[in-house]
């Protein structure tokens, strides 16, 4: 991987343009039609300054440009260069056909001038630009506007279609532009710059043109939001048959988006349009709508055909589920049934509401298990790393430019179809965990940090993969990797949240908190894992009191009230499990600065007391071990937590624990008190507080408050359970 300079040189835009054109000329000649060849010939005849001006105009958004605005210090006689571009046919005057396209490029002042020229009705000074655009479209004559002074100051980019096509055959989409080269050179965007590209993105001119046309149609539906008449016109137009996999992919997305948009306009036409798409989501929508329209027997036949022959896992799952419910009188879906059948319930404290996976992970770790957050990272990384050479190196069609992240076979879901022999050869080498880990390690060392579009690199990635492979049944690993190769699009996501390893082996766990549902892509992946031979559980979370959950009640004394400008002088922590103290931890700390006099008067902690105390960096490992797996509790918790977080950051370490505030909890379970300050609560409930503002004394007092809260929580849970039993 090459790390580039972080500053762009003068006329960087011209260098990027020339690099782009050189690539087109070297690798894409077979994909160029007469208009693109003429365009390339024309720009080759431009002198240096005219070419600089052309690239500046290319990099301006929109299809029109205001000539007077194109002034650049590094280009000589800018307006003269624009005149040359007009003479070369690259720019032209506006016509009435450009009118609606041109209006959005105007300023409010320019729109106002046009409205006055056309004697439009008056409007308030507070009018918005959008309102001015609507007025101009309604009241302005196109011919009068484009021939006005304002109109003559604008020029149309006559090369727009040719340029868009060149960008498309280079990047493979309609949204990328030359600014990606700048992002690459600034180090913002990593590219596969070590790849020697030897083949164009498309195999023929017809394939490239077909993909380009369907990409434009898809963009029209997705971004411009056509009105009813435009939608009907598009649906009735019957575009040509897509040529090639990329064109088919864009066509499938186009028909799906168009069909959905038509459902509220013309149901029959919408169904017909959805039926043209091969996307699983489109086919599902198509069959549902056909069933609703009364074509039940035809839908039944189509479902049976899918179940017999389709290789799309997601579509097969839908077909099986829909068939069972509509024609075999099964009352609930597989998703609902799988969730119902799961009797695996874990009780968690409500502090984990924002991250139930974290709470379940801690729950199992307390049982002595190895637990890893995996979700979609594990198998995506395993797949890409094991088959890196086959996907990125040996396949000469893998990428068409350095900006391609995913290999073509992955994008087009043809991995096994394209690379079956080499993939099977690699899978045959995976005889045991040790061999597989060795192959992975070699590729991690060789390709670390290279962009790939399939997974994100992480410094602990190999640790997680190694733990998995050492515990996993190798035949199951091989079977699932082969299934991913055959249908990567269905099996690149939806994986369970956690990987659990203990003396009994390995299992995956999908975590679902109350109200969560199992999604269809998750069911597809879970079934694939189970078919390969893996154990997969669904864990249902209940927001109840967990008696095994440790809480660490913390108090800190500091040199001042704000973490950003002050340091800790004392820490005390009391660990509570099941409502009882099980351990405690405390120390003075040298804050490496003087303690203000008023702080010493408040806490009793002086400079002399902390002179020989340890630094935070000297106790952090011991503290970290004490806090591990706990909920961080404090009175006004954000104060103490903020000091911890900043101290960890100073050591370039991350501090992250679920936190609970005894002020908030006491307000919730003991409402209506006059004050919730620590001293006031201790007085109210008879809790000793003999050395207020010393860390251990305050931590002990807050721990007593926590015990009261825990008792109330348990009582609340018991009441809820007894009510449920009674019902």
Q: Reduce the secondary structure of 537-589 to three states and give it as a string.
A: EEEEEEECCCCCCEEEEEEEEECCCCHHHCCEEEEEEEEEECCEEEEEEEEEC
Is there a single domain that holds both residue 322 and residue 347? Answer: no
Task: Characterize 516-536 residue by residue with b for buried, 16 or more Cβ atoms within 10 angstroms of its Cβ, and e for exposed.
Answer: eebebbbbbbbbbbeebebeb
pLDDT score at 341? 65
Is there a single domain that holds both residue 422 and residue 321? Answer: no
Domain count, the chain: 4
Tokens of 607: 């400079």
Is there a single domain that holds both residue 512 and residue 588? Answer: no
Give the total residue count for the chain. Answer: 727
- Alpha-carbon distance 521 to 314, whole Å? 7
Domain contains 622: yes
Tokens of 427: 């899978």
Which residues lie closer than 8 Å to 570 by C-beta, 6 or more apart? 556, 557, 586, 587, 588, 589, 603, 605, 694, 695
Q: Tell me, what DSSP letter sits at residue 392?
A: I
Domain contains 250: yes
**φ and ψ at 471, to 5 degrees?**
-105, -20
Is there a single domain that holds both residue 119 and residue 176? Answer: yes
Domain-ending residue, one of 293, 308, 337: 337
Is there a single domain that holds both residue 522 and residue 557? Answer: no
Which residues lie closer than 8 Å to 481 by C-beta, 6 or more apart? 379, 382, 383, 386, 427
Domain contains 554: yes
Is there a single domain that holds both residue 455 and residue 588? Answer: no
Is there a single domain that holds both residue 81 and residue 217? Answer: no
Tokens of 544: 């109840």
Concerning whether 693 is annotated as a catalytic residue, the answer is yes
The domain spanning residue 557 has which CATH number?
3.30.420.10
**φ and ψ at 488, to 5 degrees?**
-65, -35
Residue 331 in contact with residue 296, Cβ under 8 Å? no
Is there a single domain that holds both residue 241 and residue 131? Answer: no
pLDDT score at 1? 42
pLDDT score at 405? 85
Tokens of 408: 């073509």
User: For the range 300-308, what are the long-range contacts, defined as Cβ-Cβ under 8 Å and sequence gap of 24 or more?
Assistant: 300/326, 300/327, 303/327
- Owner of token pair 């979370």: 541
- Alpha-carbon distance 317 to 527, whole Å? 10
The SS3 call for residue 406 is coil
- Alpha-carbon distance 69 to 78, whole Å? 10
pLDDT score at 339? 60
pLDDT score at 726? 46
pLDDT score at 390? 92
pLDDT score at 30? 95
pLDDT score at 224? 77
Is there a single domain that holds both residue 29 and residue 73? Answer: yes
pLDDT score at 430? 95
Helix 377-386 to helix 474-486 angle (10° resolution) is 80
Regions of the chain where pLDDT drops below 50: 1-5, 724-727
- From the list 553, 593, 608, 594, the residue with the least C-alpha distance to 575 is 553
Domain-ending residue, one of 337, 352, 375: 337
Is there a single domain that holds both residue 590 and residue 484? Answer: no
What mean pLDDT, rounded, does the chain reach? 91
Domain contains 661: yes
Q: Tell me, what DSSP letter sits at residue 174?
A: S
pLDDT score at 166? 97
- Alpha-carbon distance 513 to 195, whole Å? 45
Domain contains 328: yes
Is there a single domain that holds both residue 140 and residue 231? Answer: no
Q: How many of the other CB atoms lie within 10 Å of CB of 298?
A: 13
Domain-ending residue, one of 305, 337, 369: 337
- Owner of token pair 């103490």: 640
pLDDT score at 2? 45
Choosing from 27, 363, 566, 693, which is the catalytic residue?
Answer: 693
> DSSP secondary structure string, 439-453?
HHHHHHHHHTT---S
Tokens of 453: 């579009």
The domain spanning residue 292 has which CATH number?
1.25.40
Domain contains 193: no
- Owner of token pair 């539906």: 221
Range of the domain at 112: 12-185
CA 174 to chain centre: 20
pLDDT tens track for 626-639: 999 999 999 999 99
pLDDT score at 498? 96
Q: Which residues make beta-bridge pairs with 553?
A: 574, 633
Domain contains 726: no
Domain contains 280: yes
Is there a single domain that holds both residue 600 and residue 645? Answer: yes
């Amino acid at each position: 991987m090459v790390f580039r300079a972080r500053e762009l040189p003068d006329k960087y835009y011209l260098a990027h343009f020339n690099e782009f054109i050189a690539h087109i000329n070297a690798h894409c000649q077979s994909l160029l039609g007469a208009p693109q060849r003429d365009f390339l010939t024309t720009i080759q005849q431009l002198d240096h300054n005219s070419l600089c001006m052309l690239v500046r105009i290319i990099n301006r958004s929109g299809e029109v440009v205001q000539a007077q605005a194109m002034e650049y210090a590094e280009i000589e006689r800018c307006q003269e260069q624009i005149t040359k571009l007009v003479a070369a046919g690259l720019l032209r005057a506006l016509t009435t056909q450009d009118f609606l396209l041109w209006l959005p490029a105007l300023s409010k002042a320019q729109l106002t001038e046009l409205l006055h020229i056309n004697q439009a009705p008056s409007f308030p000074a507070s009018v918005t630009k959008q309102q001015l655009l609507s007025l101009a479209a309604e009241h302005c004559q196109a011919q009068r506007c484009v021939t006005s002074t304002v109109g003559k100051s604008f020029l149309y980019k006559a090369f727009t279609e040719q340029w868009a096509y060149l960008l498309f055959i280079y990047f493979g989409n309609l949204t990328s532009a030359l600014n990606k080269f700048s992002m690459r050179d600034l180090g913002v965007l990593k590219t596969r710059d070590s790849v020697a590209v030897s083949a164009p993105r498309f195999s023929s001119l017809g394939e490239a043109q077909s993909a380009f046309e369907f990409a434009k149609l898809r963009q029209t539906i997705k971004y411009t939001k056509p009105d009813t008449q435009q939608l009907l016109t598009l649906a009735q137009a019957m575009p040509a048959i897509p040529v090639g996999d990329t064109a088919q992919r864009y066509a499938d997305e186009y028909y799906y988006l168009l069909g959905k948009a038509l459902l509220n306009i013309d149901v029959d036409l919408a169904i017909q349009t959805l039926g043209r798409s091969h996307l699983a989501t489109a086919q599902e929508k198509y069959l549902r709508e056909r069933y609703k329209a009364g074509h039940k027997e035809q839908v039944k036949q189509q479902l049976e055909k899918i179940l017999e022959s389709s290789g799309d896992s997601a579509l097969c799952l839908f077909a099986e589920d829909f068939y069972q419910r509509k024609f075999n009188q099964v009352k609930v879906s597989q998703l609902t049934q799988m969730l119902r059948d799961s009797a695996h319930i874990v009780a968690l404290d409500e502090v984990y509401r924002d991250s139930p996976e974290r709470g379940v992970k801690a729950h199992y770790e307390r049982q002595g298990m190895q637990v890893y957050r995996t979700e979609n990272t594990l198998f995506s990384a395993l797949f890409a790393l094991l088959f890196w050479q086959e996907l990125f190196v040996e396949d000469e069609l893998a990428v068409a430019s350095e900006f391609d992240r995913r290999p073509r076979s992955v994008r087009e879901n043809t991995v096994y179809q394209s690379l079956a022999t080499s993939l099977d050869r690699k899978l045959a080498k995976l005889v045991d965990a040790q061999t597989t880990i060795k192959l992975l390690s070699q590729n991690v060392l060789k390709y670390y940090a290279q962009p790939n579009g399939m997974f994100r690199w992480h410094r602990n990635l190999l640790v997680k993969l190694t733990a998995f492979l050492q515990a996993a049944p190798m035949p199951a690993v091989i079977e699932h990797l082969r299934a991913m190769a055959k249908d990567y699009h269905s099996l690149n996501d939806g994986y369970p949240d956690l990987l659990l390893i203990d003396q009994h082996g390995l299992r995956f766990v999908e975590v679902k908190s109350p109200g969560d549902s199992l999604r269809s892509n998750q069911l597809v992946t879970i079934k694939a894992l189970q078919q390969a031979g893996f154990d997969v559980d669904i864990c249902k979370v209940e927001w109840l009191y967990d008696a095994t959950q440790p809480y660490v009640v913390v108090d800190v004394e500091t040199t001042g009230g704000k973490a950003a400008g002050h340091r800790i002088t004392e820490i005390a922590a009391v660990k509570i499990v099941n409502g009882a103290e099980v351990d405690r931890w405390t120390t003075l700390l040298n804050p490496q600065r003087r303690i203000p006099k008023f702080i010493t008067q408040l806490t009793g902690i002086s400079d002399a007391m902390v002179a020989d105390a340890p630094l935070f960096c000297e106790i952090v490992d011991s503290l970290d071990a004490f806090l591990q797996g706990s909920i961080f509790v404090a009175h006004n918790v954000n104060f103490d937590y903020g000091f911890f977080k900043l101290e960890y950051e100073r050591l370039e370490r991350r501090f992250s624990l679920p936190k609970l505030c005894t002020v908030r909890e006491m307000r919730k379970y003991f409402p209506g008190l006059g004050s919730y300050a620590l001293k006031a609560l201790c007085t109210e409930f008879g809790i000793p507080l003999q050395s207020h503002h010393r860390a251990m004394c305050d931590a002990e007092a807050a721990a007593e408050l926590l015990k009261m809260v825990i008792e109330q929580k348990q009582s609340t849970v018991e009441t809820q359970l007894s009510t449920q039993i009674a019902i």
